[in-house]
Structure 1
Amino acid sequence: MKETCMSAQGNAPHVLYVAWGYPPCRGGGVYRALATANAFAAQGARVTVLTATRETFLNYTGADTSLEELIDPRIEVVRVPFDWPNLETDLRKWSPWRVLTPKLWRKARVRLDTRDFPEVGYGPWKRPLEEAAQRIHDADPVDLVVASANPNVDFTVAHHLHRVAGVPYVMDYRDAWMLDVFDGGLLHEEGSRVAKLEKELVDAATEVWFVNEPIRRWHTLRYPSTAERMHVVANGYDPEFAPSPRLEPPAPDKPLNFGYIGTVSAKVPLAEFAEGWSIARRRSAALAGATAQIWGYLGFYATPSPHLVRLVADHADDGLSYAGPLPKQRVREVYDTFDAALLILGAGLYVTSGKVFEYAASALPIVSVHDPRNAASDVLEGYPLWFPVTDLGPETVADAIEKAAEAARTADESVRSACRDFAVRYSRDLQLEPRVAALLAGVSGSATESTERSA
């Protein structure tokens, strides 16, 4: 299904951008996908986006339909139906086999999912994706494919068009495929289908992008022959939606409001934060009447995780609350209600989180409740109002919260201005523009040749 149609023709390079998570998807990676496709269009490319149907997100993961308004109108969006049987909750659509023998059905479903591509849930999308990409290429030859994971099945389009037509491609990793970014181990065994496939894809890629230096460095050691083609393209913040820097302290008689924005997964130490928050709030005068709000999704799906809902409810008497999903259009408005920001992340040397850049743009005190070795620490090193924990013990977390509360009351305009200036380097457009420009310069010649051949 084609949603919009570009009018730009001529010899501008035709870029095919492949991303399962594209608006109205509400997942964390959607902002990178949205910004990347828009960046190519802004630099003159004719961009086609290959993604899943709107219903995929409306039915399974939750959606932020306001994001669709942000798609550059010059971009053509082609949506490929995506079936997700494991998340189907309508019992009327279940087969008798699934109803009567659910364990056997799940085992068979895994085998079906991974038959064409080794990725549970997403593998069956490989063939429809490749067929759609081939139709796009046949109608208007593609000069460059940029495929964004995860899911990693997105990479199959790049590999297909490279194999049949020699189209160069970029692999854009939001996390990693073989690397477990939380514990540094392997997600798949050496010699597995994934290991072999990733090597084949990386070896043939024109460029491979990673969100931070630790992940890039890990991959350069694994694939040394491709190291020079590996680049860090950090997530950054979106200037048009970033919080307005807070350069003045809150009113002295106003209770402080701490806030978290993002998806809370099972890896996020929300329980450790909640315990530390309760301790700090009970013993600190600066936190009298203070509140802590969790904005976003509790879990990866549309229905909040019951466990996380109970966890928040258990600390409601101490001012902790769940505020619900947050449309992108309201992000700036909600930041304006915060007096300090809570960066609560899962442990891992390779974990950054796109939110860290947006937090820095707020110029607010930032409490980092995560393993100090996280890559997010590299981003915030030198931020004047950063309050990291040294471990996740409740007392340690409480100490960091109390220090941030004091700073929220006392930090003057010069300190807050320094926070604002610190964040400028992390604007998303500054991360994307150099790589987009280099790629388009590299394919502009082939685009001209394609136009001349078809004339």
Structure 2
Amino acid sequence: MQADTVVRGRPHLLYVAWGFPPSRGAGVYRALATANMFAAEGWDVTVLTASREVFEYQTGTDPELESRIDPRITVVRVPFNWDRGQPDLAKWSRTRVASNLLWTYTRSQRDRVAFPEAGYGSWRRSLVAATERVHREKPVNLVIGTANPNVDFTPGWHLNRNHKIPYVMDYRDTWHLDVYRDKRIGSPRSRSARMERRLLGNAAEAWFVNAPIRDWHAANYPERAEVFHVVANGFDQEFARQFVDHQPQTNAEATGLTFGYLGTMYGPMPLRESLEGWRLARSTSALMAKSRLVIRGRLGHYAEPDPALLGLLEEYRHDGVSYEGAVSKTQVAEVYRTFDVLLLILGRSKYVTSGKVFEYAATGLPIVSLHHPDTASTGILEGHPDWFPAEVLSGTHIARLLTRAGESAVAASPEKQRLARAWADHLSRENQLLPRIRDLRALVGGFQ
């Protein structure tokens, strides 16, 4: 469609996200916010996602999150074969019962026939069929696929090849970059690498959550670098508004503080080092000895908490550490308001930003960064007026940081927190997404 063509109606976005409410997977908040913002900006939005039972057995669900979907959005749930996550052994095939290892290998190879992605590749056929149905009923003007899984990119590619519809690849994760080891995954000549190059070669835009990831892809796909954009996660304005009237504790020296972590724990995170620093701080500071550390969120990516992480937290139970479970997105701000100091615990990687760093900043509370300085979140928080970044991940250094942050929280005032929240304004999701939405509106043409 030409940019100067004017048609009646609203542009139609097909948004593809395997994980969408009620999923409580790590990428669901970006997906929900993106779809909602397009709807708010005057687009008709259709979302292709997996069925509810998949999330119930694999990622866990947050039923209340569905209430946050803009009512103007049409959600189409595409059947997804979730046999690999089937917990009921009575429903396993005889072959699987005989050898689950062989069954899993065979299933993995079969998945890759349609698309080179284990566990998800076979979904391509159902996705493409659903895409064609949606396009027939109401012509699509733009497709955005958010990954992973990377099969989410295939509806856009399909409509582009068959109907010249532009598409955007939103990398909330990476496909061929190991973000912790800074190495390419697989050979550049592998089938999946060739597929990625083909998809990027025809994309109108590709979005990445931070500059280091964008730059890695620009170096590996220089011919397409001009369409690569950073679209960071950001925080939602509705979330930030819930801290406007937040008041710091007035009797913290007497009662102690609540230090908090909220997010998903996974990968090589320095959790033990952080807990050792916490234990040491409580042994050297009267304020810290009265304080407690509360962990909220998911332990691992699956519905059931990771037993190794649960066991580690249990080791420090007598040091004022408690794990108090996952949190619905609808209750996140309420939980943050019970904290006095926030702990940002992340694995070392120049490519890992984490979505929660934006919410942390929006609260106006003191933040202790318990991650290596090379981690991408460092660049996000530079300049924050109440930030305590770790230089080394030793127990002694962490203990000092925690104590300093606690003292800062005791001295906090409403004005100090207001200034910290004002500093964070540039990190809102709105500021990240709106420029891209407006450029894409121009790409698909004029609508009245």
- Please say which of residues 392-401 and 34-43 is displaced more in the overlay: 392-401
| Counterpart residue identity of residue 285, structure 2 | S
Instruction: Indicate the residue corresponding to 1:380 in structure 2.
Output: 381
- Give the CA deviation at 1:253: 1.8
- Please say which of residues 402-411 and 204-213 is displaced more in the overlay: 402-411
- Please say which of residues 73-82 and 398-407 is displaced more in the overlay: 398-407
Aligned counterpart in structure 2 of residue 15 of structure 1, from 13, 16, 28: 13
- Please say which of residues 142-151 and 116-125 is displaced more in the overlay: 116-125
Once the two structures are superposed, residues 25-80 of structure 1 have per-residue CA deviations (whole angstroms, 9 ceiling, x without a partner) of: 11121111111111111111111111111121122211111111111111111110
- Give the CA deviation at 1:266: 3.0
- Within a 5 Å distance, the mapping from 1:107-146 to structure 2 comes to 107-146=105-144
Aligned equivalents of 2:260 and 2:94: distance in 1?
Answer: 46
Instruction: Indicate the residue corresponding to 1:312 in structure 2.
Output: 313
- Give the CA deviation at 1:207: 0.6
- Within a 5 Å distance, the mapping from 1:150-189 to structure 2 comes to 150-189=148-187
Question: Contact 2:57–2:85 (CA<8 Å) still a contact in 1?
Answer: no
Instruction: Indicate the residue corresponding to 2:31 in structure 1.
Output: 33
- Please say which of residues 378-387 and 261-270 is displaced more in the overlay: 261-270
Instruction: Indicate the residue corresponding to 1:353 in structure 2.
Output: 354
1:85 has 2:83 as partner: yes
- Give the CA deviation at 1:116: 1.4
TM-score by length of 2: 0.95
Question: Contact 2:15–2:45 (CA<8 Å) still a contact in 1?
Answer: yes
Question: Contact 2:281–2:289 (CA<8 Å) still a contact in 1?
Answer: no
| Counterpart residue identity of residue 290, structure 2 | G
Aligned equivalents of 2:342 and 2:369: distance in 1?
Answer: 9
Q: Show structure 1 runs of 4+ deviating over 4 A.
A: none
- Give the CA deviation at 1:413: 4.3
Aligned equivalents of 1:86 and 1:280: distance in 2?
Answer: 44
Find the residue that maps to 2:199 and give its secondary structure. Answer: helix
Aligned equivalents of 1:395 and 1:195: distance in 2?
Answer: 44
Find the residue that maps to 1:253 and give its secondary structure. Answer: helix
- Within a 5 Å distance, the mapping from 1:217-236 to structure 2 comes to 217-236=215-234
1:46 has 2:44 as partner: yes
TM-score by length of 1: 0.93
- Give the CA deviation at 1:435: 0.7
Aligned equivalents of 1:287 and 1:134: distance in 2?
Answer: 60
Aligned equivalents of 2:317 and 2:111: distance in 1?
Answer: 41
- Within a 5 Å distance, the mapping from 1:333-372 to structure 2 comes to 333-372=334-373
| Counterpart residue identity of residue 237, structure 1 | F
Aligned equivalents of 2:357 and 2:174: distance in 1?
Answer: 19
Find the residue that maps to 1:415 and give its secondary structure. Answer: helix
Aligned equivalents of 1:223 and 1:249: distance in 2?
Answer: 51
Once the two structures are superposed, residues 241-291 of structure 1 have per-residue CA deviations (whole angstroms, 9 ceiling, x without a partner) of: 245154534423221101111111133222221111111112112212211
- Within a 5 Å distance, the mapping from 1:90-105 to structure 2 comes to 90-105=88-103
Once the two structures are superposed, residues 123-166 of structure 1 have per-residue CA deviations (whole angstroms, 9 ceiling, x without a partner) of: 11111001100111122111100110111110011111111111
- Give the CA deviation at 1:86: 2.1
Once the two structures are superposed, residues 93-124 of structure 1 have per-residue CA deviations (whole angstroms, 9 ceiling, x without a partner) of: 11121112222222212211222111111111
- Please say which of residues 405-414 and 138-147 is displaced more in the overlay: 405-414
Aligned equivalents of 1:231 and 1:308: distance in 2?
Answer: 35
Aligned equivalents of 2:290 and 2:106: distance in 1?
Answer: 53
Aligned equivalents of 1:287 and 1:266: distance in 2?
Answer: 28
| Counterpart residue identity of residue 379, structure 2 | D
- Give the CA deviation at 1:220: 1.3
Instruction: Indicate the residue corresponding to 1:244 in structure 2.
Output: 243
Aligned equivalents of 1:80 and 1:102: distance in 2?
Answer: 26
Question: Contact 1:24–1:63 (CA<8 Å) still a contact in 2?
Answer: yes
5+ residue gaps, structure 2 = 1-6
| Counterpart residue identity of residue 388, structure 2 | F
Question: Contact 2:146–2:171 (CA<8 Å) still a contact in 1?
Answer: yes
Find the residue that maps to 1:244 and give its secondary structure. Answer: coil
Question: Contact 1:340–1:366 (CA<8 Å) still a contact in 2?
Answer: yes
Question: Contact 1:183–1:349 (CA<8 Å) still a contact in 2?
Answer: no
- Give the CA deviation at 1:412: 4.0
Instruction: Indicate the residue corresponding to 2:188 in structure 1.
Output: 190
1:280 has 2:278 as partner: no
Q: Percent identity?
A: 51
Find the residue that maps to 1:300 and give its secondary structure. Answer: coil
Find the residue that maps to 1:26 and give its secondary structure. Answer: coil
Aligned equivalents of 1:100 and 1:28: distance in 2?
Answer: 34
- Give the CA deviation at 1:397: 1.9
Instruction: Indicate the residue corresponding to 1:4 in structure 2.
Output: none
| Counterpart residue identity of residue 138, structure 2 | D
Aligned equivalents of 1:204 and 1:407: distance in 2?
Answer: 51
- Give the CA deviation at 1:398: 1.8
Question: Contact 1:269–1:369 (CA<8 Å) still a contact in 2?
Answer: yes
Report the count of equivalent residues. Answer: 439
Find the residue that maps to 1:240 and give its secondary structure. Answer: helix
Aligned equivalents of 2:273 and 2:78: distance in 1?
Answer: 41
